[in-house]
């Protein structure tokens, strides 16, 4: 402990989840150290959608002002067909009136930098790979191994991502994260071609293309398609241009504007079956380490930030040391399991190769009134932190 009586936490992983946990615990008075294996905080060069629940969680971390300057609100969002017809559309003001806050778009690096800027100097240890963990117990602190050092702490937060080494060590019966049968490509594009501030996702048959404006002059684009695992092609960008080049505007122009080196490809992995417990002793699993899910709801990072807020709250005044992680577990496991299931179901519908499934799906989405469709996001977007952010307090 740095200061007498101050509790200490080790956070493993400096992604969105780990950094958010470090901010939350630091604000709650903990001495925190984040161990990140990478030599620098260089998040993948893509964007993120932050739903109102994620925005609320970031406000609860005191980052509302920083968010305002970095993350423009979407003026709307919706689902289209490859010929451009809209199947469903929601305006930004409908999102605000239903959930009390907007849906934002942000460049990942900006979110990481915002979180890191709220940490005290020296908190972040780079080039630091954690190789093992001891979960500790009611009367024994937890510890992690990093290089030749053993670092003891009152709490270990395992935020080491979808292939979490800590999950493997403490949940040996849990299978490794599973490939979901499709890959995602992502890129940031500098252009004013989209302009309106509205995001869209276009559904074909087992293929999708997303367009998310992040401010007036850059667009986050993503695409998905079914593919065997780990089969990056020599020229992924040409493949994408062939696959989506005849879809509605501005997709061809956006594809033409991607610089080859900026295109990222990732196989979609998920933790399955969902974990029934998110803690062992004094170790709390958080973010993708705990519940990596298919990205179809755009909620993974948002849930990781929620986890961080709830964990810090659950640890408040924890005299029994292991009671806090257990409280966190109880507060989170049902929610993340439900949303993982929902995201998987959406993945089945959108990545189905069947023409019949695609036609039925499109008809159903087209027939549901837009305001009713928005309610479908209630489970995710209507979340509120345990302590309401300042602007919502009476």
Ligand X SMILES: Cc1cc2nc3c(=O)[nH]c(=O)nc-3n(C[C@H](O)[C@H](O)[C@H](O)COP(=O)(O)OP(=O)(O)OC[C@H]3O[C@@H](n4cnc5c(N)ncnc54)[C@H](O)[C@@H]3O)c2cc1C
Q: Is 66 in the site for ligand X (CB under 6 A)?
A: no
Q: Which stretch binds ligand X (CB under 6 A): 34-42, 56-64, 226-234, 353-361?
A: 34-42
Q: Is 219 in the site for ligand X (CB under 6 A)?
A: no
Asked whether 258 and 221 are in contact (CB, 8 A), the reply is yes
DSSP letter assigned to residue 357: H
Q: Is 12 in the site for ligand X (CB under 6 A)?
A: yes
Task: Return the residues of window 349-368 that contact ligand X according to CB under 6 A.
Answer: none
Q: Which residues of 9-38 are buried (b: 16+ CB within 10 A; e: fewer)?
A: bbbbbbbbbbbbbbbbbbeeebbbbbbbbe
Work out how close the CB of 221 gets to ligand X at its nearest, in angstroms, rounded to a whole number: 11
Q: Is 296 in the site for ligand X (CB under 6 A)?
A: no
Q: Is 302 in the site for ligand X (CB under 6 A)?
A: yes
Which is nearer to ligand X, 130 or 214 (by Cβ)? 130
> In degrees rounded to 5, what are phi and psi of residue 133?
-145, 145
Q: Is 340 in the site for ligand X (CB under 6 A)?
A: no
Closest CA to 142 of 7, 308, 334: 7
Which is nearer to ligand X, 214 or 374 (by Cβ)? 214
For residues 96 and 89, what is the distance between their CA atoms, to the nearest angstrom? 15
Mark 81-120 with x for binding to ligand X (rule: CB under 6 A) and - for no binding: ----------------------------------------
Work out how close the CB of 106 gets to ligand X at its nearest, in angstroms, rounded to a whole number: 9
Q: Is 17 in the site for ligand X (CB under 6 A)?
A: yes
Closest CA to 14 of 6, 23, 3, 5: 23
Work out how close the CB of 139 gets to ligand X at its nearest, in angstroms, rounded to a whole number: 27
Work out how close the CB of 366 gets to ligand X at its nearest, in angstroms, rounded to a whole number: 24
The length of the chain in residues reads 394
The size of the interface with ligand X (CB under 6 A), counted in residues, is 35
Judge if the upstream peptide bond of residue 203 is cis by omega within 30 degrees of 0: no
Work out how close the CB of 4 gets to ligand X at its nearest, in angstroms, rounded to a whole number: 29
Closest CA to 204 of 362, 19, 380, 77: 362
Q: Is 300 in the site for ligand X (CB under 6 A)?
A: yes
Q: Is 49 in the site for ligand X (CB under 6 A)?
A: yes
Q: Is 226 in the site for ligand X (CB under 6 A)?
A: no
Mark 252-271 with x for binding to ligand X (rule: CB under 6 A) and - for no binding: --------------x-x---
- In degrees, rounded to 5, the angle at the alpha carbon of residue 117 between the alpha carbons of residues 114 and 118 is 100
Q: Is the dihedral of CA 288, 291, 292, 293 positive or negative?
A: negative
Q: List Cβ neighbours of 364 (8 Å cut-off, separation of 6 or more).
A: none
Task: Return the residues of window 153-192 that contact ligand X according to CB under 6 A.
Answer: 159-161, 165, 184, 186
Work out how close the CB of 18 gets to ligand X at its nearest, in angstroms, rounded to a whole number: 5
Phi-psi region of 287 (alpha: psi -120 to 50; beta: other; left: phi over 0): left
Q: Is 48 in the site for ligand X (CB under 6 A)?
A: yes
Asked whether 262 and 121 are in contact (CB, 8 A), the reply is no
Q: Is 129 in the site for ligand X (CB under 6 A)?
A: yes
User: Interface with ligand X by CB under 6 A: which residues?
Assistant: 12-18, 35-38, 48-49, 54, 129-130, 159-161, 165, 184, 186, 222, 266, 268, 287-289, 295, 298-302, 304
């Amino acid at each position: 402990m740095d200061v007498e009586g101050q509790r200490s936490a080790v956070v493993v992983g400096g992604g969105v989840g780990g950094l958010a946990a470090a901010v939350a615990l630091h604000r709650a008075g903990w001495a925190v150290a984040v161990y990140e294996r990478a030599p620098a905080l260089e998040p993948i060069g893509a964007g993120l959608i932050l739903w109102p629940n994620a925005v609320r969680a970031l406000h609860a971390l005191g980052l509302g002002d920083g968010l305002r300057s970095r993350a423009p609100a979407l003026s709307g969002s919706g689902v289209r067909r490859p010929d451009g017809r809209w199947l469903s559309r929601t305006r930004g003001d409908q999102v605000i009136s239903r959930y009390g806050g907007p849906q934002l778009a942000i460049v990942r690096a900006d979110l990481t930098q915002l979180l890191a800027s709220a940490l005290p100097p020296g908190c972040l240890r780079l080039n630091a790979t954690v190789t093992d963990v001891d979960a500790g117990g009611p009367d024994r602190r937890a510890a992690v191994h990093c290089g030749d050092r053993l670092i003891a702490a009152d709490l270990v937060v395992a935020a080491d991502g979808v292939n979490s080494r800590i999950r493997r060590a403490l949940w040996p019966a849990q299978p490794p994260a599973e490939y979901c049968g499709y890959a995602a490509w992502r890129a940031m594009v500098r252009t004013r071609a989209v302009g309106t501030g509205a995001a869209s996702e276009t559904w074909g048959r087992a293929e999708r293309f997303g367009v998310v404006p992040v401010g007036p002059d850059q667009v986050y684009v993503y695409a998905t398609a079914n593919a065997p695992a780990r089969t990056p092609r020599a020229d992924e960008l040409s493949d994408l241009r062939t696959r989506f080049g005849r879809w509605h505007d501005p997709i061809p122009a956006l594809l033409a504007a991607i610089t080859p080196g900026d295109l990222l490809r990732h196989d979609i992995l998920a933790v399955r079956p969902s974990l029934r417990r998110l803690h062992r002793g004094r170790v709390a699993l958080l973010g993708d380490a705990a519940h990596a899910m298919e990205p179809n709801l755009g909620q993974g990072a948002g849930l990781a930030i929620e986890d961080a807020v709830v964990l810090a709250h659950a640890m408040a005044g924890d005299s029994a040391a292991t009671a806090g992680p257990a409280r966190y577990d109880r507060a989170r496991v049902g929610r993340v399991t439900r949303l993982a299931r929902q995201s998987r179901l959406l993945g089945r519908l959108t990545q189905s190769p069947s023409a019949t499934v695609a036609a039925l799906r499109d008809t159903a989405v087209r027939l549901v009134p837009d305001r009713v469709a928005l309610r479908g996001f209630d489970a995710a977007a209507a979340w509120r932190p345990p302590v309401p952010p300042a602007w919502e307090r009476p």
